[in-house]
């Protein structure tokens, strides 16, 4: 039975490493028969932080397409680069624009951190994990933290000996989560 999985690229930075890593996961997931949908925050309306939140919530047609993509999946993998010691602000702003309170309720979520520093965004994954828990999502315990990512990933291939193994383990567990 085929699963539909959303890959959420957690930044709006153009040509982000997170987007490339989502592609890396996509190839593996497709091999396992999963259907993939990408949710790429770099495609958000540029003024969405004002035009899609608060009194405008639910009224912005282009933003609503993101909500529909999210609503169409029960499982998501978040790709979360480290900016200033945590997740990108735009990721939380995106969440703040979503329908309240059920947008993530009971969804199953895996987290992937990316950073040029050694820590692989451990703190940022802790923060986003708190938020997703608050919203009623079930976040898989095993988190992949890819530190020094520029050194180990050229956008297509991973050179770090352990990273590919971590990813395979995470994907296998997530397909059964």
Task: Determine if 130 is a binding residue for a second copy (CB under 8 A).
Answer: yes
- Cα distances (angstroms) measured from residue 67 to each of 1, 8, 12, 56: 25, 12, 16, 14
CB of 136 to a second copy, least distance (A): 5
Cα–Cα distance for residue pair 129/109, rounded to 1 Å:
9
Task: Determine if 161 is a binding residue for a second copy (CB under 8 A).
Answer: no
Task: Determine if 146 is a binding residue for a second copy (CB under 8 A).
Answer: no
Q: Which of 123, 152, 164, 175 binds a second copy (CB under 8 A)?
A: 123
Task: Determine if 167 is a binding residue for a second copy (CB under 8 A).
Answer: no
Q: Which of 34, 91, 114, 146 binds a second copy (CB under 8 A)?
A: 91
Q: Which of 63, 79, 94, 163 binds a second copy (CB under 8 A)?
A: 94
Cα–Cα distance for residue pair 114/134, rounded to 1 Å:
23
Contact between 34 and 49 under an 8 Å Cβ cutoff? The reply is no
Q: Among residue numbers 24 through 83, which ones bind a second copy (CB under 8 A)?
A: 44, 46-51, 53-55, 83
- Cα distances (angstroms) measured from residue 79 to each of 57, 100, 160, 177: 25, 22, 18, 18
Short-list 5, 72, 8, 6, CA closest to 32: 5
Contact between 44 and 13 under an 8 Å Cβ cutoff? The reply is no
- Name the residue nearer to a second copy (CB basis): 130 or 154: 130
CB of 4 to a second copy, least distance (A): 20
- Name the residue nearer to a second copy (CB basis): 22 or 139: 139
* Residues near a second copy (CB under 8 A): 12-14, 44, 46-51, 53-55, 83-96, 100, 106, 118-120, 122-123, 126-127, 129-143, 145, 147, 173, 177
């Amino acid at each position: 039975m085929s699963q539909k999985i959303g890959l959420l690229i957690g930044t709006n930075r153009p040509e982000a490493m997170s987007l490339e890593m989502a592609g890396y996961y996509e190839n593996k997931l497709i091999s396992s028969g999963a259907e993939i949908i990408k949710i790429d925050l770099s495609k958000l309306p540029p003024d969405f932080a004002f035009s899609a939140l608060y009194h405008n919530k639910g009224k912005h047609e282009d933003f609503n397409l993101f909500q529909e993509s999210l609503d169409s999946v029960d499982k998501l993998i978040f790709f979360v680069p480290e900016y200033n010691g945590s997740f990108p602000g735009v990721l939380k702003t995106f969440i703040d624009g979503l329908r309240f309170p059920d947008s993530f309720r009971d969804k199953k979520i895996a987290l992937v951190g990316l950073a040029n520093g050694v820590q692989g965004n451990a703190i940022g994954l802790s923060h986003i994990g708190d938020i997703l828990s608050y919203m009623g999502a079930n976040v898989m315990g095993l988190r992949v933290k890819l530190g020094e990512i520029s050194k180990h990933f050229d956008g297509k291939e991973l050179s770090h000996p352990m990273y590919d193994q971590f990813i395979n383990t995470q994907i296998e567990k997530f397909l059964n989560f």
